[in-house]
Structure 1
Amino acid sequence: MMRYALSLSVLFCAPLFAAPLPPPQSWSLAGEWRAHDANDADFIGWRGSDADWRKLRVPANWYSAGWDHQGALWYRTEFSLPRQTADRLATLEFDGVDYFADVWFNGQNLARHEGYFQRFAVDVTEHLTRYNRLAVRVDSPFEDPQKNWPLRKNLIKGILNQHDARPGGAWSPQGQDANSGGIWSPVRLRLSRSVAIDNVILRPDWSQGLTQPRLRVELVYRAPAAKAATLNLSARPDNFSGESYRLTQPVTLQPTGKETQRISVTLPMPAARLWWPKEYGKPSLYQVQVRLSDENGVLDQRASRTGLRQIVEQANNQGWLINGQRLFIRGTNYIGSPWLSTMNKARYARDFDLVEKMNANAIRVHGHVAGRALYQAADERGLLIWQDVPLQWGYNDTPAFAENAARQTQEMVAQFGNSPSVVVWGGQNEPPFNSPWMGKRFPDWNKDLNRHLMQRVADTLAKDNSRIVHPFSAVEEHYWAGWYFGSLANLLEPAKTATITEFGAQALPRLATLRTFIPRSDLWPATTQPGDPKWTRWKYHNFQPIQTFQNAKISRGETIQTFIANTQRYQAQLVALAAESYRRQRFQPVTALFQFMFVEIWPSVNWGVVDYLRHPKAGYYALQRAYQPLLPSIEPKSLDWKAGKPGQITLWTINDLPAAHPGSWLRWRISQGDRILAQGDKQVDIAPDSGSKVVELPVTPSQSGELRVTATILDGKKRPLARNEMTFDVAN
C-alpha cells in the first residue's frame, strides 16, 4: 500500500514515534492528497490502491487546483502515529469543505456534514491505529436547471453558485461553471486528553456600561465521561501593551456522547482598551486563551482573538454608534474570489490597502462567508464588516430547508462572531418575495416565496445582541439608477431608505487586462446589438451590452481604447454623483452606503472599480474623492447643461469624523477651458460629524464642451485639507 501525501516522516517526525505525544497537539494534514471522480455511486473510495488516482492539493478548491469538475470527488490520504493512551481523544478538524462531506476513517463512515464555510469536528478516537487512512467524499452538486436552479436552489452557497459576477453570469446555462467544490480550507488532526474543546465563543458584555467592559466566554466541548477540571481563562493584549486579565475556577465536565456541551463564564476587564475603527481610534485586540486541566496537567486548550466594542443602531435613521461615537458608513461590496482557497491573509490585506486608500471605512462581504483570514485582516486594521449570510435570490421553499438555513446561520454566528470588525449580520440578498421582477422570469414565482426562510434566518441572527441585524437586503435598498433603470439625474433625488447596499455601473478594465480573457478575434464585435455573436464571450465574462448601450447609452467610439475610456468615465461619473448625493443626505435618511462592487473577482468585465489584476479604474479614483471623510461636496441642480442657459452649483462641507475644523475656508473655481465662470472663497466653521450647505452659485456655461468645478477646503492658514472636482457635459 502506497503511503504518500503528507510525508508523515516529516509531519510526525521520527523521535515522536518513540513515546505518546503530550496533549494537546495539532498537526496540519495539508499537502498532496489523492483524488478520484466520485460521480459513479458504485465507486468505493475509501479502499483499494492508488493506481488510477490523481494528485490534488489540499487545501484548495478543485477548480483552482486544476480540476474543472462538477459533482463529487473522493479525497484520500494516509498517516501514521504511535499508539495512544486510553484517555487520549483524537479529532479530525475540517475548517471548510464545499459542500457535502462524507468522512471515512479506516473504513468506517463516521460523519456527514453539509455547508461550505463551517468548521466541523470528527471524533476518530475509537478508530485510531498506528497506520490510518482518511477518505472524504466531497460533493458540490450541479443544481438541475429543469427542477430547482436558479429560483429554488438547494445549496446554501450564496454567490458561489449563482451571481452576476461568476463565470457565465447569473442566468445563463453556463452560470454554474467553474464549481467551487473541494476541501478548500485547512484540515488538522488534534490530540487532547479526556476532553476536546471544539469552539470558544466570545462576546462583549456591556451590562455595566462602556467604562466597565466584561467578556462572555462560552466553551463548546466534548467529553466521553464526567470529569472534574479546572478552567483557566486569560485575555492578554495582542497588538498593544497593556493589562492582562485572568480567571480560574473549578468546573465539572458533563458526558456528551456524540453531542456537545457548553460552559459559560464572564471575565471582568475593567480597564480594557476598546476596539475602534481606524478613523476613530486603534483596533485593540485581545488574545483569549481557554485551558482545561486536572491534577495531571492540561486536558485541552484553545485560543481565539477578539476586541471589545459596542455597536448600536439608533432609531429614526440617526446612525450607528460604535462605543458611543456616531458613524457614517462609506462602504463597498466585496468578494475576493469565487474560489476562496486562492485568497489568504496577504491577499486580503492587499485588497484592504486599496479599500482604505479609496477612503471606504466598511465592506459588505457580499452574499457569502469568506475565509477566516479575511476577518483576521479586518480585525487588525479596524475595517468594518457587514457580513451577509450565503443566501442569494431564490431557494427551496420548504420548512426543512428553512431549518437547515437557520442551523447554518447559527454556525456562522458562532464561528465568525468573535471578530469585532463584524458589526452587521445581513440576511438573504434580494429574496424572491421582495423581488417582483422575478415574476417576469419565472412562471412559478409567487409573492410569498422564501418569506418563511428569510424570517427563520433573521430570527437566528437576532439571537446575537452584540451586532446590528439587517433581516434581508431589499431591492428598495439597491439604487441602480443609471444602469438598470432611469438615468444619472435620478441619483440626485432624495433617497427613500436609510441603508443603500448597492449602487454602481460596469466599466471595462484596461486593455492589457481585457486581452487576458477576450481574444483579439472577439475584441471588436461588428455592432452594438446584444445579439451579435461576438458579444457571447463578453457576456460569459459578465459584460452587459443591453445596460451599456441601451440603458446607459455609452458610446463605443471608433476604437477599443475609446470604448474603455467611455465606460470608465461613465462609471466614475455615476459612483461620484451617487456617493456625494447620498452623503449630503446623511441621516436624512441615509446612514450607510455600499458601492457595488470593489473588485472584479475573476477575469471579467463587471461592476468592480478595480480589475481582477488589482489595477484601479477611473471609478476607483472618483470614489476616492467622493469618500473623503472631510469632503467639499459639489451638488449640481441639474445634469441638463446647455450653453447660454443658467444653471446652479451648490457647495457643501461634509465631515464624517469627530474632529472639528474651525476657521476653515471653502474655495471654489468653475471654468470652461481657460475661461473662469465663477471663483471665490468663504470662511466656514466645520463641526464634527456634520454636513452643511455653504454656498449656491449661479452658473451660465458660455459654450458647449466640458464644465469643470473644483472645490477645496483649507485650514485657517490656507493649507489644503481636502479637494474635490467634477466635470459636466454642456450641450449646444
Structure 2
Amino acid sequence: MKEYSLNGIWKYRLNDDEKYRDIQVPSNWYLQGLDHSGRVFYKKQFEMSPEKDKEYYLVFKGVDYFCKVKLNDQLVGDHEGYFQEFSFPVTNILKDGENTLEVEVNSPRESVDIWPNEKYLIKGIFNHHDTRPGSWNPEHGQDMNTGGIWNDVLIAEKSKIYIDKIRVSPVLLEDGRARLDVEISLINNDFPQYTMIDLDISGIGFEQSSRISKRLFFPSGKHKAHIVKTIDSPRLWTTWDRGRPYLYDLKCRISGSEGKDLDDVSVRFGIRDIKIDDKWNWYLNGKRFFPRGTNIIPTQWLSEYNSDMIEKDIKLLKEGNVNAIRVHAHVNRQEFYDACDEAGILVWQDFALQWSYRETDDFAENAVEQVEDMIDQFYNHPSICVWCCHNEPSVNRNTLDPLLYKVAKAKDATRYIDIASDFAYHPYPGWYRSHYYEFHSLPGAPFVNEFGAQALPNV
C-alpha cells in the first residue's frame, strides 16, 4: 500500500463571505490562533495520478468533531467523533491532475440549556471537566474549543484485494505455551479467487520467529479469516518494574492467484494475560500484581502531543515509580499507547464520557458505535488492560452504561470491562470536603482509581 500525505498548509474560512486564509493541517484550530466554536470550512488542492488497477481511499486519522467531506464537488461521506481514524472510497472521484478537497468541520459549543447535564458531544474531558479551560463555569466551561483536523490526512493506494484490519488475541496455556488467534479482515473488490496469506511473526529486539502460510478462497466482498499459531516459548509482556515488556511484530502479506503481491500490513502486539477478580485483586501473567497508578490528562489539544512530550511523560511516570495509568475520560492518540507498550506501563482506558448526557435512543446508538470504534482501534495494545465505559455518571448510570458494558464485553472478551468509574472508588478527603486524615480509614477500598488531596500551588 502506498500513502500520499495531504498534510501541510490548507485554506480555511468561517463562512462564504470570507476570503480563504492559510491554516496548518494537522492541528487543532485553537493552536493556529483561531479561538472559535462552530463550523470551519477547509480546502486543499493537490495533484494525483491514479492508476487504473488500484483502489483509492481518503483517510483521516482524527477530526474533532463533526465533518462533511467533498472531493471534486462530490460528497464522499461524513463522520462524527474526535478520536477515530476513518476513510472514504474515492477511486471513482479522484482525477488525474488537480483535485479539490473540501472538509466542513463543526465543533459546536453546546447550548447552556443542555450543557452540562444533557450533553450530546462524546468528547469527555475535552468538552467538560474541572481541569479544562473554564472548568465547570456555564459561561466559560467550553472555552478554547478543541475542534479541527488534528491528525494526518492522506490518500491510500491499495490493490483490489487488501487487508482492512488485523486483531491478535493471545491466550497463555497452562504448560507455558501461548496460542495466538490472528483475525484478518480482508476486502475483495475483485472477482472471487484463491489468495495466499503469509504471516511472519518475529520478536522485537530478541531472536524468535515463525511463519504460517494459508491458501484461502475469498468471494467478492468483506471477509474474515482466523489463523491460529502456537508459540512454544513465548516472551511475555509485563510492566517495567517486573521485567522486560517484550513485543512482537506480525507481518501479514497477501498475494493473488498468479503469485502477484497484493498487500502487506504489519501490526505490533504483546503476549500477556491480565485478570481482575470481583475483589479487585489484579493478576498479570498469573501472578498477583499491585498497580501503582495515577490518572493522566496530558494535554487539551491532541495535535500538539508529539513524540517529545510523550517521551517526557513516560520518563516522569517511571521516575515516579508508576506502573499503571488511567487515561482519564478521553481517548488519546495512537503514539501514546505505543509508548506505554514499549515502556511497560499498564493502561486503564476510559471511554470519552464525562458526567451527564442526554437520555435518548439516538445518543445511546452513537455511544455504542463509538465505544466499539475505541476497542477496534486500540485492540492490539498489550498495555491496555481495562475498558471503562463512563466516568462518574449520574442519570446515565442505570440506563446507558449497562448497554455500553454489554457491547464492550461482546467486543473484547480478553480484557476487564468496568461499567463505570464511579464515586464509590474516587476518594477526595481534604479536597471537596472533610480532611485528608480520612485516608487512614482507607476510603474507596478495596480499589481506588482516582484520588486527590489538597496541595500547595506550584508558585
> What TM-score do the two structures reach when normalised by structure 1?
0.60
* Alignment-derived partner of residue 313 in structure 1: 276
| 1:533-587 Cα distance to aligned partner (Å, 9 max, x none) | xxxxxxxxxxxxxxxxxxxxxxxxxxxxxxxxxxxxxxxxxxxxxxxxxxxxxxx
* Alignment-derived partner of residue 193 in structure 1: 159
The verdict on how the C-alpha distance between 1:143 and 1:308 changes in structure 2, with shifts beyond 3 A counting, is same
Task: Select which of 419, 423, 428 maps to 1:475.
Answer: 423
The alpha-carbon deviation at position 495 of structure 1 amounts to 3.6
Structure with higher Rg: it is 1
Q: Distance in 2 between matches of 1:263 and 1:29?
A: 33
The alpha-carbon deviation at position 498 of structure 1 amounts to 2.2
Contact 1:118/1:412 (8 A) holds in 2: yes
* Alignment-derived partner of residue 156 in structure 1: 122
- SS at the partner of 1:125? coil
The verdict on how the C-alpha distance between 1:510 and 1:31 changes in structure 2, with shifts beyond 3 A counting, is same
Contact 2:115/2:138 (8 A) holds in 1: no
1:135 partnered with 2:97:
no
Contact 1:68/1:179 (8 A) holds in 2: yes
Q: Distance in 2 between matches of 1:128 and 1:357?
A: 50
Task: Select which of 419, 438, 446 maps to 1:498.
Answer: 446
Q: Distance in 1 between matches of 2:248 and 2:12?
A: 40
Q: Which amino acid aligns with 1:361?
A: N
Contact 1:430/1:473 (8 A) holds in 2: yes
- SS at the partner of 1:401? helix
The alpha-carbon deviation at position 91 of structure 1 amounts to 1.1
* Alignment-derived partner of residue 33 in structure 1: 10
* Alignment-derived partner of residue 404 in structure 2: 457
Q: Which amino acid aligns with 2:279?
A: N
The alpha-carbon deviation at position 417 of structure 1 amounts to 1.4
1:62 partnered with 2:29:
yes
The alpha-carbon deviation at position 316 of structure 1 amounts to 3.3
The alpha-carbon deviation at position 492 of structure 1 amounts to 0.7
The alpha-carbon deviation at position 458 of structure 1 amounts to 1.2
Q: Distance in 2 between matches of 1:36 and 1:493?
A: 57
Q: Which amino acid aligns with 1:485?
A: R
The alpha-carbon deviation at position 432 of structure 1 amounts to 0.8
* Alignment-derived partner of residue 220 in structure 1: 185
| 1:258-301 Cα distance to aligned partner (Å, 9 max, x none) | xx543322222222211011111111111111222112522122
Q: Distance in 2 between matches of 1:499 and 1:157?
A: 26
The alpha-carbon deviation at position 455 of structure 1 amounts to 1.0
* Alignment-derived partner of residue 332 in structure 1: 294
* Alignment-derived partner of residue 236 in structure 1: 202
Q: Which amino acid aligns with 2:10?
A: W
| 1:146-177 Cα distance to aligned partner (Å, 9 max, x none) | 2x211111111100100000100023311001
1:169 partnered with 2:135:
yes
The alpha-carbon deviation at position 502 of structure 1 amounts to 1.6
- SS at the partner of 2:109? coil
Task: Select which of 460, 485, 489 maps to 2:433.
Answer: 485
Contact 1:379/1:419 (8 A) holds in 2: yes
Aligned length: 455
The verdict on how the C-alpha distance between 1:121 and 1:323 changes in structure 2, with shifts beyond 3 A counting, is same
Task: Select which of 168, 179, 200 maps to 2:145.
Answer: 179
The verdict on how the C-alpha distance between 1:254 and 1:401 changes in structure 2, with shifts beyond 3 A counting, is farther
The verdict on how the C-alpha distance between 1:93 and 1:394 changes in structure 2, with shifts beyond 3 A counting, is same
Structure 2 matches for 1:555-634, cutoff 5 A? none
Q: Distance in 2 between matches of 1:251 and 1:59?
A: 40
The alpha-carbon deviation at position 195 of structure 1 amounts to 2.2
| 1:70-111 Cα distance to aligned partner (Å, 9 max, x none) | 1111112122222412x3101111111111121111111011
* Alignment-derived partner of residue 526 in structure 1: none
The alpha-carbon deviation at position 497 of structure 1 amounts to 3.1
The alpha-carbon deviation at position 452 of structure 1 amounts to 2.0
Q: Distance in 1 between matches of 2:62 and 2:50?
A: 29
The alpha-carbon deviation at position 251 of structure 1 amounts to 2.3
The verdict on how the C-alpha distance between 1:254 and 1:187 changes in structure 2, with shifts beyond 3 A counting, is farther
- SS at the partner of 1:172? coil
Task: Select which of 247, 254, 266 maps to 1:285.
Answer: 247
The alpha-carbon deviation at position 196 of structure 1 amounts to 3.4
- SS at the partner of 2:208? coil
| 1:585-613 Cα distance to aligned partner (Å, 9 max, x none) | xxxxxxxxxxxxxxxxxxxxxxxxxxxxx
* Alignment-derived partner of residue 320 in structure 2: 358
Q: Which amino acid aligns with 1:490?
A: E
Structure 2 matches for 1:27-106, cutoff 5 A? 27-37=4-14, 40=15, 43=16, 52-85=19-52, 87-106=53-72
Q: Distance in 1 between matches of 2:186 and 2:74?
A: 23
Q: Distance in 2 between matches of 1:113 and 1:292?
A: 30
Q: Distance in 2 between matches of 1:132 and 1:97?
A: 21
Q: Which amino acid aligns with 2:61?
A: D
Contact 1:403/1:456 (8 A) holds in 2: no
1:267 partnered with 2:244:
no
The alpha-carbon deviation at position 223 of structure 1 amounts to 2.8
Q: Distance in 2 between matches of 1:63 and 1:161?
A: 14
- SS at the partner of 1:400? helix
Q: Distance in 1 between matches of 2:260 and 2:153?
A: 26
Q: Which amino acid aligns with 2:154?
A: R
- SS at the partner of 1:429? coil
Contact 2:200/2:250 (8 A) holds in 1: yes
Task: Select which of 97, 111, 114 maps to 2:77.
Answer: 111
Task: Select which of 261, 266, 269 maps to 1:298.
Answer: 261
- SS at the partner of 1:68? coil
The alpha-carbon deviation at position 396 of structure 1 amounts to 1.4
- SS at the partner of 1:132? strand
The verdict on how the C-alpha distance between 1:153 and 1:221 changes in structure 2, with shifts beyond 3 A counting, is farther
Q: Please, which moves more after superposition, 56-65 or 371-380?
A: 56-65
1:412 partnered with 2:377:
no
Q: Distance in 1 between matches of 2:58 and 2:209?
A: 32
Q: Distance in 1 between matches of 2:74 and 2:432?
A: 53
Contact 1:246/1:267 (8 A) holds in 2: no
Contact 2:195/2:255 (8 A) holds in 1: yes
The verdict on how the C-alpha distance between 1:507 and 1:489 changes in structure 2, with shifts beyond 3 A counting, is closer
The verdict on how the C-alpha distance between 1:215 and 1:65 changes in structure 2, with shifts beyond 3 A counting, is farther
The verdict on how the C-alpha distance between 1:499 and 1:106 changes in structure 2, with shifts beyond 3 A counting, is same
The alpha-carbon deviation at position 507 of structure 1 amounts to 4.1
* Alignment-derived partner of residue 563 in structure 1: none
Task: Select which of 167, 176, 187 maps to 1:211.
Answer: 176
Q: Distance in 2 between matches of 1:369 and 1:500?
A: 21
Q: Distance in 1 between matches of 2:458 and 2:394?
A: 36
Contact 2:430/2:454 (8 A) holds in 1: no
Q: Which amino acid aligns with 1:175?
A: G
> What TM-score do the two structures reach when normalised by structure 2?
0.95
* Alignment-derived partner of residue 249 in structure 1: 214
The alpha-carbon deviation at position 210 of structure 1 amounts to 6.4
RMSD: 1.8
Q: Which amino acid aligns with 1:90?
A: Y
The alpha-carbon deviation at position 143 of structure 1 amounts to 0.8
Identity score, percent: 36
Q: Distance in 2 between matches of 1:167 and 1:373?
A: 25
Contact 2:427/2:444 (8 A) holds in 1: no
The one of the two structures with greater contact order (alpha-carbon pairs below 8 A, sep at least 6) is 2
Q: Distance in 2 between matches of 1:360 and 1:234?
A: 34
